[in-house]
Amino acid sequence: MRLGAVVPMLTVALFAWQPAAQAAAKLDTEVKKFSYAQGADLGKEILNTKFTFDHEQLVEGLKDSLAGGKMRMTQEEMDAVRSSVIRKKREQAIAKVKKMAGENQQLAEDFLSKNSRAKGVRSTPSGLQYKVLTQGTGKKPTLENKVKVHYEGKLLNGKVFDSSYKRGEPVSFGLDQVIPGWTEGVQLMNVGSTYQLFIPPQLAYGKRGRPPVIPPQSLLVFKVELLSVE
């Protein structure tokens, strides 16, 4: 396929930034179909980087590269600008996460301060808060035990991020294999109990969070039903 046919096709199929100046080439050979498929994959890969592109220059760079002629930038210049853009993007991402973490930490502190005075809510020295919804009379687990539970986890805004109830199947795990808030909170429970746990960021996923589900410094609210100690 001629280069002149490849570029308009890539411009339309991958970037869709302006109407095609001419009808797209027919995909009537295996080479054309393969070329289109490769172009489509390239476009997806480029768009998934989340960088801001000048589509016209993106296509021009592709044209020059495919033509095998002299490029308008040296390799050193291309490497330098690429490194600069990537560095700035990384710095922006780090700043965004730090800002989000600070905001979430403040929200968590404000909530815990108010929640500590709510009816039925108890606090532990670690900062964990919990509320007994149903008090069981069975065995209490220890750190060495494996437990079976049903649970639902929410963010402070009420968004459910995980639920064994929704999956229709309880979960078993060792109490030394989970976040500190769970390790402490479940050991307070007797089999047959259902507790609500209010887990501060430092006892959950902290500054890292658990992208993309749990933002950094998020307070987590769990409903936990202890079914058995194994």
Q: 31 is written with which tokens? A: 């080479």
Catalytic residue among 34, 86, 94, 161: 161
Closest to 204 measured CA to CA, from 93, 119, 121, 108: 108
Rounded (5°) CA angle 197-209-131:
5
Residue 176 annotated in active site: no
The b-or-e profile of 135-152 (16+ CB within 10 A means b, else e) is ebeeeebeeebebbbbbb
Half-sphere exposure of 220 (CA within 13 A, CB side): 29
Q: 8 is written with which tokens? A: 């308009």
Residue 161 annotated in active site: yes
Residue 64 annotated in active site: no
Catalytic residue among 36, 130, 195, 205: 205
- DSSP annotation of 139: P
Residue 179 annotated in active site: yes
Encoded amino acid at 115, one letter: N
Catalytic residue among 36, 130, 151, 195: 151
The b-or-e profile of 18-28 (16+ CB within 10 A means b, else e) is eeeeeeebeee
Residue 222 annotated in active site: yes
Q: 187 is written with which tokens? A: 């050991």
Residue 230 to residue 226: CA distance in whole angstroms: 11
Q: What is the dihedral of CA 138, 139, 141, 145, to 10 degrees?
A: -110
Encoded amino acid at 30, one letter: E
DSSP letters along 196-228, please? EEEE-GGGTTTTT-BTTTB-TT--EEEEEEEEE
What positions carry a catalytic annotation? Answer: 151, 161-162, 179, 205, 222
